[in-house]
Amino acid sequence: MILILLILFATLFSRAFYLQSMQKEFLQSKGGDISNRNEKLHAFRGKILDRNNELLAASSPVETVWANPSDVIMNKSQKNRLALLLKMRKDHLDERLDKKDTNHVYLRRQIAPELAGKIMALKIPGIYSEKNYRRYYPGKEAMAHVVGFTNVDGDGIEGIELQSNKFLSGEHGFRKVLKNRKGNVVDDLQDIQIPVDGKDVILSVDKRLQYASYKALEKAVEKHAALSGSAVLIDAKTGEVLAMSNYPSFNPNTSRSSQRSEYIKNRVVTDIFEPGSTLKPLTVSAALKNNSVTPDTLIDTAKGFYRVGKRLTVRDTHANGIITVKEIVQKSSNIGTTHIVEGLQAKYLWSMLNDFGLGAKTGIEYPGEVTGKVHHYKEWGEIERATISYGYGISSTLIQLAQAYTVFANEGVIKPITLFKEEGIIIGKRVVDKKTSNEMLAILESVVTEGTAPYAQVNGYRVAGKTGTAKKPNPNGGGYGKNYIGSFVGMAPVSNPRFILAVMIDEPTIDGYYGGVVAAPVFSTIMSEALKLYSIPQDGIEFDAPKEQKMVYLNKYDE
């Protein structure tokens, strides 16, 4: 018996010596993993502000309640009270707490500190809370497509929240603590890393104009029973985006699971479409630049139809006969622009479209921006060159069209686009000469005063712009369907353009579908508000034109 005891004692001594000497570091590490914990110290996420320092997004303190299922001990009364406070069915709560294979189960995330206090007051072992932050968006639907939103962990996943995530997030810290088996902190190990709070982001957007833009789109989409509407307003001199809206929209304050995915994307930068007649000023400018035509050059548009090759018949809505280049844009003649482009080399036209920013990103630095598509000139035939002249066979985003029109607002210079507030002079790139730009600006003004866009007029100001009405391709291929996109891109005041606004109404079905009917009134509403808010001096005349008079213009020169 003594020998057996000695052997057992020797075995225990050898094992103890092996563990304490040979496995010392390994066992200390494992013990530390169990008792020593790094508690995350959340950094405060920076705010998102508009150009006037109005709040667009901010973080508010909340708490997350979690449990270690193995340590939870509670009576029936406590369980009933806990389920009531958590707004959770008791069977659902039991399901969460039955997960004994894990020591961390979320019960409710991002709840008010007051509610978390009531839960912790139940003093249920194994139930804990931790402080974090939840993002709040006071602009709701009107601002959603600009600021985007964060996920439940506070990381940006859409919009500026995603684009500037690293800048806004800062750096989380931690503190090392000693915990007992039940997960309670029993000692502070004095090892701490202070969190670095995120920085604020100041956008170029004006909250007032953003709201006005959203409401104008809402009214138009509902009035015309359209699929959607989009608008972007930019400062003509700096390229700063003052408003960028879509309707329908979503509320970034509500649960992500309740959002419709098609409403979340910012269609101003993510959706491409064939711009139709809003592209005509670009193609005509190319001809004015190389002196192949002048605003007064006469072109025969015949009886309203023109054959190109064997497969294409270009049509106008009216037989305009012999008209000037100015009238071609004014009356939106497809035949006229086709004749103009026939006098241009394909490579030259392709190069000019690229210079206007088509087929490339605008530089707005917004997640998901697409480039649109301009086929290489070597792929063009006579039909492709003809259709491109009036905005078919080419695709762009609404923000690209707005940027292209900065050329006419800046005497031939295109401006980069940004969503962040800029200081100082913004340098652009020359696309056309000053003479060509001024000629096109005068032509675009005549579109509003005498052509297809009387509804774009703004009382007391001279307005220039171009309407567009384009058929949408069949989603299943095979030509074009019966749905339209009505659009308008314009600027004001003409004497010294300050703002450029592009509007698009997708698939209007009631009370017309022409750009001059569905998009131009939206332009007038938003532009009027912008000119008033920024106290831009008037350069036009006060008028009180009745709707009937405007309708005469519109019926005479439908696109």
CB crowding 161-193: b at 16 or more within 10 Å, else e: bbbbbeebbbeebebbbeeeeebeeeeeeeeee
In whole angstroms, what is the distance from residue 308 CA to residue 305 CA?
A: 10
Alpha helix ranges (H) inside 415-462: 434-449
In whole angstroms, what is the distance from residue 122 CA to residue 135 CA?
A: 28
Helix axes 90-97, 76-86, angle to 10 degrees: 100
User: Looking up tokens 């069915």, which residue turns up?
Assistant: 89
Asked if 277 is an active-site residue, the reply is yes
- Using alpha carbons, list the distances in angstroms from residue 193 to 67, 170, 172, 174: 26, 13, 8, 5
**Number of residues that make up the chain:** 559
CB-facing half-sphere around the CA of 11: CA atoms within 13 A: 6
Strand stretches in 474-555, DSSP E: 480-492, 499-506
The pair phi, psi for residue 427, each rounded to 5°, is -85, 130
Q: What element of type H or E holds 383?
A: helix 382-389
| Phi-psi sector, 252: left (phi>0), alpha (psi -120 to 50), beta | alpha
Beta bridge partners of 135: 59
Widest distance between CA atoms in the chain:
125
CB crowding 456-482: b at 16 or more within 10 Å, else e: bbbebbbbbbbbbbbbbbeeeeeeeee
Among residues 486, 483, 464, the alpha carbon closest in space to that of 473 is found at 483
User: Three-state SS across 248-294?
Assistant: CCCCCCCCHHHCCHHHHCCHHHHCCECCHHHHHHHHHHHHHHCCCCC
Cβ-contact 183, 214 below 8 angstroms:
no
Catalytic entry in 277, 285, 332, 395: 277
Among residues 284, 270, 222, 280, the alpha carbon closest in space to that of 247 is found at 222
- Show the tokens assigned to 494: 């003409």
Among residues 270, 226, 103, 298, the alpha carbon closest in space to that of 487 is found at 226
Among residues 466, 468, 464, 473, the alpha carbon closest in space to that of 442 is found at 464
Among residues 104, 124, 88, 111, the alpha carbon closest in space to that of 40 is found at 104
112 contact partners, CB below 8 Å, separation of at least 6: 62, 63
Catalytic residues: 277
